[in-house]
Amino acid sequence: MPAGTLYRGREGMWSWVAHRVTGVLIFFFLFVHVLDTALVRVSPEDYDKVVATYKTPIVAVLEYGLVAAILFHALNGLRVIAVDFWIKGARYQKQMLWTVVGLWIVLMLGAVYPVLGHAARELFGS
């Protein structure tokens, strides 16, 4: 495969950027998650306060963003594996990218109620 084949065109560039950005966001989430979980050993009262803030509607929206980042990163990672290891992968990378985006949108629409349902009920009543 000639150099630059994988990320030829705007779509490839943006998928590369999105893959790196989502990876960094997931890393920072995991870093914060380890810190807040470790807080339970230092101060159980403070840990309870932190966990209470996680039940707010704003954090529910952030959780939805986390789901979006993890899902895109995972699906795009599978696409990158296919491009790298499938002999025809480079030829079909653009189609696979649009398949990833379409599947990501469908799955994110399906995640709206499970992830944001509690926040909506809290804001607007049951």
Query: What is the chain's pLDDT, residue by residue, as a tens digit (126 residues)?
Result: 444 445 556 777 888 899 999 999 999 999 999 998 999 999 999 999 998 988 899 999 999 999 999 999 999 999 999 999 999 888 888 999 999 999 999 999 999 999 898 888 888 887
Count CB neighbours of 14 within 10 A: 12
CA–CA distance, 102 with 61 (Å, rounded to integer): 21
Which tokens in the block code for residue 71? 């899902």
Give the distance from CA 4 to its chain's centroid. 26
Task: List, for residues 78-101, the tens digit of each pLDDT value.
Answer: 999 999 999 988 888 899 999 999
Stated pTM of the model: 0.83
CA–CA distance, 82 with 59 (Å, rounded to integer): 34
